[in-house]
Amino acid sequence: MPRNPVLSAARLKSLPAPVRWAAPPAVLLGCLSLAVGSWGEPEVAPPTPNATVAELCSALHKALPQSVLGHRRHDPSPASPYTAAWESSPQTVLRCGIDRPDYLNDDPLSSAPEVNDVQFGMGPDGHGGYRFVTTLRKAYVEITVPKGAYPNYIDPLSSLTDAIKATIPDGL
């Protein structure tokens, strides 16, 4: 079998010593830089609700669980009482006080799930996942569940509905 001339020991030994010594650490440093650069969570634009909704959302923020299905809570930046996130991969993100999404105008309850007495409208997130938005509540709460974050895209909703029911009253 012919030997690969690129990987031969003789070829490596023919390189100047500084190149042989510096190459592996340089490659490792480059890989580490790429990995660390991709760890940062995306920025999440916090909504700007009116005063009444802002008060409800602040209460929800305090009532949200510290983990969802084994994923620790790690709120996104910039910090806001209207956003929360959990370390699924990619992150599951909750935003409270959003404007009513347009997709709720297209028969929002036809395929919308109800989880623990909380009704949700749903639509695609544009990346293969889903956005769920509470309906028939005093504030719109959006939960973005990315593709592949959970075995079933609806799973995280059950972890969040108790906090929603306790802090965001029924009604429009």
pLDDT tens per residue across span 14-56: 666 665 565 555 444 444 343 333 344 557 889 999 999 999 9
What is the number of residues in the chain? 172
- Considering the domain architecture, whether residues 29 and 71 belong to the same structural domain is answered as no
Selected residue with higher pLDDT from 33 and 151: 151
Q: How confident is the model at residue 112 (pLDDT cuts 50, 70, 90)?
A: confident
- 8 Å CB contact between 133 and 120: yes
DSSP state of 117: T
**The two three-digit tokens of residue 99, written as one number:** 């404007």
Q: Give dist(CA 55, CA 82) in Å, integer.
A: 10
Question: Does any domain span residue 67?
Answer: yes
Q: How confident is the model at residue 89 (pLDDT cuts 50, 70, 90)?
A: confident
The domain total for the chain is: 2
- Considering the domain architecture, whether residues 148 and 73 belong to the same structural domain is answered as yes
Looking at residue 144, which CATH number applies to its domain? 3.40.1000
> Cα–Cα–Cα angle for 60, 120, 67, nearest 5°?
45
